[in-house]
């Protein structure tokens, strides 16, 4: 019986020649990450453990959820984590973007085992790594020992074939998949994306697919690394492929040619409909950014729609590059200037308003269309504000119209 990529990585990391779903293994970890929202509890966990981190170079701390600090409480948490970073001589503290984008740009290699105190750590699996989200105590344990326990997950295969039509992006495809399987359709499982669509897709689009694996409950999202991955990373790694006779608990086929622009309606990510079904819904805020859709490709798509036009009155369009690198590249290409001229607001790299802590908090009764990954009640502000999730193209076209619109007529 063959093995999947996920099984091979976890077998290697746990020094087993073979593993099977259901086995519990203790694996060595290559990168351990926490951000400003979860690191404070990690610090407390480590103090309880009373040990130094196993290898400071493998620890990555990113201030992204509320940076620069919008309140005294937030500043105090940053201070607590900075003291920890100094005390433990950790060389990797970043304040220049979303944690997952920082890991992708600077740390991840194919074959790695990555654990992060953030649920969207599944994003990094798009580079052929095993990458999963954990809570603060697990991360404290991993920082102290360099190891983590995992139950080997069953794998689900998502075979994506065909070419997307005009105005259809990875976001529409992952939303369509989540519509099909539901919020717990991949609970505890590895979600492996494959097929000619995935092979042809950019690394940025692959990251969008894996980013939302946790929105269907998955332990990890994963995509086989290839030449494109190597060029994107500019570094080598251990490229592993699933065997032909690898075992999948289930297989889903998605004909990408048939996917239309999709939108997740409040209050759950699996409440997905074609955009045309909710056209005309008035919006107050439009947001392009986050670990889901804040990369150069996303900003370029939005810029093409916004260029030479004006954001509707009473709509605030927020654009937050996922990292300083994305920020500078988008600036060099003139994208940010066009967005600003159209009436958009650019905020510093980070999570932006996705978690409702700063830079665009919603009032009661307001509606936001966002390129982020979650639309739960109260996430971006008042619990009676509504959040719709869509591609950067749908968000940009809707920002111009002042209401939700199908982007295909605007491209």
Q: What is the DSSP letter of 402?
A: T
Of the candidates 151, 99, 159, the residue with the CA atom closest to the CA atom of residue 130: 151
Residues 6+ apart with CB under 8 A from 19: 3, 7, 10, 11, 25, 152
Q: Does 266 bind another protein (CB under 8 A)?
A: no
Q: Does 48 bind another protein (CB under 8 A)?
A: yes
Among residues 77, 168, 240, 400, the one that binds another protein under rule CB under 8 A: 77
Among residues 57, 79, 89, 149, the one that binds another protein under rule CB under 8 A: 149
Q: Does 331 bind another protein (CB under 8 A)?
A: no
> Least distance to another protein from the beta carbon of 155, Å?
15
For the chain, helix (H) and strand (E) counts, in that order, are 14, 18
324-332 and 296-306 helices, crossing angle to 10°: 40
> Least distance to another protein from the beta carbon of 374, Å?
6
Contact 284, 380 (CB under 8 A): no
- Candidates 145-153, 196-204, 316-324, 363-371: pick the segment binding another protein (CB under 8 A): 145-153
- Candidates 7-15, 230-238, 332-340, 355-363: pick the segment binding another protein (CB under 8 A): 355-363
User: Measured from the CB atom, is 45 or 97 closer to another protein?
Assistant: 45
Q: What is the DSSP letter of 363?
A: P
Cα–Cα distance for residue pair 132/213, rounded to 1 Å: 10
Q: What is the DSSP letter of 119?
A: G
- Candidates 87-95, 294-302, 371-379, 402-410: pick the segment binding another protein (CB under 8 A): 371-379
- Order of strands, sheet of 272-274, starting from the edge strand that comes earlier in the sequence: 272-274, 262-264, 386-389, 367-370, 285-289, 316-320, 345-346
Q: Does 291 bind another protein (CB under 8 A)?
A: no
Q: Does 66 bind another protein (CB under 8 A)?
A: yes
Q: Catalogue the long-range contacts made by 334-340 (C-beta closer than 8 Å, 24 or more residues apart).
A: 335/296, 335/299, 335/300, 335/302, 335/303, 336/299, 338/303, 338/306, 338/307, 338/308, 339/299, 339/302, 339/303, 339/306
> Least distance to another protein from the beta carbon of 272, Å?
14
Q: Does 213 bind another protein (CB under 8 A)?
A: no
Residues 6+ apart with CB under 8 A from 384: 364, 365, 377
User: Measured from the CB atom, is 135 or 274 closer to another protein?
Assistant: 135
User: Measured from the CB atom, is 63 or 232 closer to another protein?
Assistant: 63
- Candidates 44-52, 279-287, 335-343, 393-401: pick the segment binding another protein (CB under 8 A): 44-52
User: Measured from the CB atom, is 331 or 376 closer to another protein?
Assistant: 376
Here's the x/- map for another protein, 219-238, by CB under 8 A: it reads as x-------------------
Q: Does 356 bind another protein (CB under 8 A)?
A: yes
Cα–Cα distance for residue pair 188/268, rounded to 1 Å: 19
Q: What is the largest CA-CA distance in the chain?
A: 61
> Least distance to another protein from the beta carbon of 22, Å?
9
* # of chain residues touching another protein (CB under 8 A): 52
User: Measured from the CB atom, is 119 or 161 closer to another protein?
Assistant: 119
| Partner residues linked to 274 by β-bridges | 262
Among residues 21, 56, 135, 343, the one that binds another protein under rule CB under 8 A: 135
Q: Does 37 bind another protein (CB under 8 A)?
A: yes
- Candidates 196-204, 221-229, 322-330, 370-378: pick the segment binding another protein (CB under 8 A): 370-378
Cα–Cα distance for residue pair 401/404, rounded to 1 Å: 7
Q: Does 274 bind another protein (CB under 8 A)?
A: no
Window 78 to 117, contacts with another protein (CB under 8 A): 116-117
| Partner residues linked to 161 by β-bridges | 255
DSSP secondary structure string for all residues of 265-328 = PTT-TT-EEEGGGGTT-B-SEEEEEHHHH-SHHHHHHHHHHHTT--PPTT-EEEEE-SBHHHHH
> Least distance to another protein from the beta carbon of 49, Å?
6
Q: Measured between alpha carbons, how far is residue 60 from residues 100, 280, 312 in Å?
A: 11, 43, 40
Binding site for another protein (CB under 8 A): 24, 37-38, 40-41, 44-45, 48-49, 51, 65-66, 71, 73-74, 77, 116-119, 121, 133-138, 140-141, 144-145, 147, 149, 151, 183-184, 187-188, 217, 219, 268, 355-357, 361, 374, 376-379, 381, 383
């Amino acid at each position: 019986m063959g093995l999947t990529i996920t099984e091979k990585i976890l077998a290697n990391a746990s020094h087993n020649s073979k593993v099977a779903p259901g086995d519990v293994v203790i694996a060595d970890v290559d990168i351990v990450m926490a951000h400003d929202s979860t690191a404070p509890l990690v610090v407390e966990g480590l103090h309880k453990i009373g040990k130094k981190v196993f290898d400071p170079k493998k620890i990555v701390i990113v201030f992204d959820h509320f940076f620069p600090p919008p309140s005294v409480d937030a500043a105090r948490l940053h201070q607590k984590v900075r003291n920890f970073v100094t005390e433990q001589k950790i060389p990797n503290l970043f304040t220049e973007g979303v944690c997952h984008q920082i890991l992708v740009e600077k740390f991840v290699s194919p074959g790695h085992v990555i654990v992060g105190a953030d649920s969207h750590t599944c994003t990094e699996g798009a580079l052929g790594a095993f990458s999963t989200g954990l809570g603060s105590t697990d991360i404290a344990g991993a920082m102290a020992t360099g190891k983590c326990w995992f139950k080997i997950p069953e794998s689900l295969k998502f075979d994506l074939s065909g070419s997307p039509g005009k105005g259809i992006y990875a976001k529409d495809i992952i939303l369509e998949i989540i519509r099909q399987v539901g919020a717990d359709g991949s609970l505890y499982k590895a979600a492996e994306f494959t097929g000619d669509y995935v092979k042809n897709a950019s690394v940025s689009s692959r990251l969008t697919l894996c980013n939302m694996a946790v929105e269907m409950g998955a332990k990890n999202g994963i995509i086989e690394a290839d030449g494109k991955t190597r060029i994107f990373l500019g570094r080598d790694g251990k490229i592993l492929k699933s065997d032909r006779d690898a075992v999948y608990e289930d297989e889903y086929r998605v004909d990408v040619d048939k996917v239309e622009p999709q939108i997740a309606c409040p209050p759950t990510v699996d409440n997905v409909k074609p955009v045309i079904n909710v056209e005309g819904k008035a919006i107050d805020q439009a947001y392009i950014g986050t670990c889901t859709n804040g990369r150069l490709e996303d900003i370029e798509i939005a810029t093409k729609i916004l260029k030479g036009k004006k954001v509707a009155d009473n709509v605030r369009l927020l654009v937050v590059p996922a990292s300083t690198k994305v920020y500078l590249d988008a600036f060099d290409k003139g994208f940010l200037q066009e967005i600003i001229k159209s009436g958009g607001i650019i905020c510093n790299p980070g999570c932006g308003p996705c978690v409702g802590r700063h830079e665009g908090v919603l009032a009661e009764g307001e509606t936001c269309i966002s390129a982020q990954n979650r639309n739960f009640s109260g996430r971006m502000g008042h619990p009676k504000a509504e959040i719709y999730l869509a591609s950067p193209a749908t968000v940009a076209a809707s920002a111009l119209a002042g209401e939700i619109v199908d982007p295909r007529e605007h491209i």
